[in-house]
Amino acid sequence: MWINQVCTECQLTKKAVEYYEKQGLISPEVGGNGYREYGEKEISTLQEIAVLRKLGVGISDIRTILASTNKAAALGKLEYLMELSIQKASAQQACLRRLAESYDIAAAREYISAGIDELFTIKEKLVHAFPGTYGMYLSIHFGPFLNERIDSSDKEEAYSRIVDYLDHVGNLNLPRELGEFLENCFAEMHKTDMEKMNSAMQSALDNVDEYIADNKGILEEYIQVRTSDEYKETPAYKMQQLLLAFQRSSGYYDIFLPNLKILSKSYCEYMKKLAMANEVFMERYPQTKGLIT
Amino acid sequence: MWINQVCTECQLTKKAVEYYEKQGLISPEVGGNGYREYGEKEISTLQEIAVLRKLGVGISDIRTILASTNKAAALGKLEYLMELSIQKASAQQACLRRLAESYDIAAAREYISAGIDELFTIKEKLVHAFPGTYGMYLSIHFGPFLNERIDSSDKEEAYSRIVDYLDHVGNLNLPRELGEFLENCFAEMHKTDMEKMNSAMQSALDNVDEYIADNKGILEEYIQVRTSDEYKETPAYKMQQLLLAFQRSSGYYDIFLPNLKILSKSYCEYMKKLAMANEVFMERYPQTKGLIT
DNA sequence: AGGACACTAACGGCGCGTCAGAGTCA
DNA sequence: ATGACTCTGACGCGCCGTTAGTGTCC
């Protein structure tokens, strides 16, 4: 099949197809006359590309998806990023509306610096900084704390430190096995699952005693597994140690979390609650010492 | 003031400021040493630019806004366009989610061709095709009819004819006085007003008799004005005639509306209702013959 | 033989970021 | 004299669109 027919079948332009070839997404055979012959394989790839492009997926992400065995995870990540950009656009739209009503540039500056850009930036960078969907998990986890204003120079500094940290982490190449593990670990988990997890965690923290009472059986079982010697032989345990070590060395505990506490009052309160809950927990189950971070 | 200070005051980078100068948005004085001296005027312009850029407004639109005496209209238009793009992004996101759940390219193609691209294209092109906020008015007016699928070759043809028409109209230079009139005419009207107008129109069409009964006084007054000889002397009347002539010559009635009828069943029904309402109206007020189009 | 099709190659466009190199201020 | 600043200029990015010129199929 030659290019013109390919274009009609895949709803693409010649230039687009040509570009995808240059990007190495397809590699049709070239005949003696220089004409390209597109086979079924190319067609289906191109159809896939066409769909993804129309959904706003960029070439490099498409490359990832085409090569990926776990497309759901990659797509989930992209969907989450899209949601972030939609939220940002909505905030921008709201600001535009206010400007249309009364053209007050100073007020708009206030409104914008109140967080249109910066807080979304952190959420986005979180997604990219860590491999697989782990970054997305963190973004969803910390997202609820990232809705406050940056209204002091302290917070501005904290913000730029966090951004630097995230860029730094994104450029690190963490141990290969850890990377692969993280890519698989959150693979089946979807955005909504992550959100549910978080709200469940929140409500558990709000009434620790009740939570412990309600889930006594499960908890004790879990603790037994986690404190058992067999668990320390599992890959999961090793990976967890690897992850911990990585985060420690990258500055997760020394840079990221402390600055997040400066940036977000609500996160600060969350941490207090968490610490209290931890105390209650340790009192009840002293054997879990050192288990929870 | 030199550039570095400008950058901190306006939250812009040097390159950005430089670029805006190259685009002719500012023109600071250049001293003997080649250094630029930024005055208050430049600063306030740059702050304005910075705000607008952070709201996603492009340079050419910023140029328009900076020069415009009626910023509200321009901003309203941009806000509407942004809303369209948000709606589109939401549709894309929904499709991404479905793909993440089950990676079915064929189904996604269906879903996309069902209207993610095309119908939004029409709405957008409508905004751009006509000057001022008149295009936006038309987009809001016809928008509700543009939510159906393009599921036949007839509709595809109608779609491309409409697109061609809108591109064609956008390239026409219509009479200067008409352009100016349209720019001012819808100036104070906001998006929400336009939407209200439309729904009011809809409900009026759904029960014509009631509407006529309820608004008897207003209607008769309106008719008297519109049929009076004095009205024909007003600029409004002349403009209306100009607009009519323009639309007739551009193919609004010969190309746009007929193809819209093919594209949208709901518009077809709307037109039928409108025709019926018109008949009722003419029966009641025969003197309005030829008034309503 | 002519028109529809294929190929390659170069440039454009948005909104700047990112060097590189040379000059200027305090 | 040093370091922080300024200038100009070229190239890059993502995703192709748009000519333009040349060769190939039917």
Using a CB-CB cut-off of 8 Å, the residues of chain A touching B71 are: 99-100, 103
Interatomic separation, CA of residue A273 and C1' of nucleotide C14, rounded (Å): 48
Q: Do B108 and A51 touch (CB under 8 A)?
A: yes
Closest residue of chain A to B50, computed from CA coordinates: A109
> What is residue B30's DSSP assignment?
E
Closest residue of chain A to B115, computed from CA coordinates: A54
CB-based contacts of A11, cutoff 8 Å, min separation 6:
A50, B113
Residue A20 has, within 13 A of its CA and on its CB side, a CA count of: 30
Q: Give the residue carrying structure tokens 């007016």.
A: B141
Backbone angles phi, psi at B28, to 5 degrees: -70, 155
Whether the CB of B34 is less than 7 Å away from nucleic strand D comes out as yes
State the nearest Cα–Cα gap between A275 and chain B, in angstroms. 36
Closest residue of chain A to B69, computed from CA coordinates: A103
Task: Compute the average pLDDT of residues A137-150.
Answer: 92
Q: How far apart are CA A1 and CA A46, in angstroms?
A: 13
CB-based contacts of A262, cutoff 8 Å, min separation 6:
A154, A155, A157, A158
The model's confidence at residue A96, banded by pLDDT at 50, 70 and 90, is very high
The model's confidence at residue A139, banded by pLDDT at 50, 70 and 90, is very high
Please give the pLDDT value at position A231: 81
Tell me which nucleotides of strand D come within 7 A of a protein CB. 5-8, 14-18, 24-25
Q: Give the residue carrying structure tokens 């807080």.
A: A119
Condensed to tens digits (0 to 9), the pLDDT of residues A24-79 reads: 999 999 999 999 999 999 999 999 999 999 999 999 999 999 999 889 989 999 99
Q: How far apart are CA B124 and CA B85, in angstroms?
A: 9
SS3 assignment, position A30: strand
Nearest protein residue to the C1' atom of C6, measured from CA? A35
Please give the pLDDT value at position B23: 96
Whether the CB of B19 is less than 7 Å away from nucleic strand C comes out as yes
CB atoms within 10 A of CB B230: 8
Task: Compute the average pLDDT of residues A214-243.
Answer: 84
The model's confidence at residue A183, banded by pLDDT at 50, 70 and 90, is confident
CB-based contacts of B189, cutoff 8 Å, min separation 6:
B133, B137
Residue A47 has its nearest CB partner, among B89, B93, B109, at B109
> What is residue B37's DSSP assignment?
E
Interatomic separation, CA of residue A35 and C1' of nucleotide D23, rounded (Å): 11
Please give the pLDDT value at position B119: 87
Using a CB-CB cut-off of 8 Å, the residues of chain A touching B83 are: 93
- The nucleotide minimizing the C1' distance to residue B49's CA is C15
Residue A86 has its nearest CB partner, among B44, B76, B89, at B89
Using a CB-CB cut-off of 8 Å, the residues of chain B touching A47 are: 105, 109
**Where are any strands of DSSP class E within chain A?**
29-30, 36-37
Please give the pLDDT value at position B152: 85
Closest CA to B25 of B72, B68, B62: B62
Condensed to tens digits (0 to 9), the pLDDT of residues A191-204 reads: 888 889 888 888 88
How far, in Å, are A117, A149, A152 from residue A114 at the CA level? 8, 5, 11
Q: How far apart are CA B191 and CA A125, in angstroms?
A: 35
Residue B92 has its nearest CB partner, among A44, A55, A71, at A55
Please give the pLDDT value at position A48: 97
Average per-residue pLDDT for chain A: 89
Please give the pLDDT value at position A18: 97
Per-residue pLDDT of chain B (293 residues; tens, 9 = 90+): 999 999 999 999 999 999 999 999 999 999 999 999 999 999 999 999 999 999 999 999 999 999 998 899 899 999 999 999 999 999 999 999 999 999 999 999 989 987 788 889 999 999 999 988 899 999 999 999 998 888 888 888 899 899 999 999 988 878 888 888 888 778 778 888 888 988 888 888 888 888 888 888 888 888 888 788 888 888 888 888 888 999 999 999 999 999 999 999 999 999 998 888 888 888 887 776 665 55
How far, in Å, are A199, A278, B236 from residue A217 at the CA level? 21, 18, 80
Please give the pLDDT value at position A291: 58
- Asked if B79 and A89 touch (Cβ cutoff 8 Å), the reply is no
**Cα–Cα–Cα angle for B187, B188, B191, nearest 5°?**
90
Q: Parallel, antiparallel, or unpaired: how do β-strands B36-37 and B29-30 relate?
A: antiparallel
Which residues 83 to 102 of B reach strand C, CB within 7 A? Answer: none
- The nucleotide minimizing the C1' distance to residue A60's CA is D14
Interatomic separation, CA of residue A29 and C1' of nucleotide C2, rounded (Å): 29
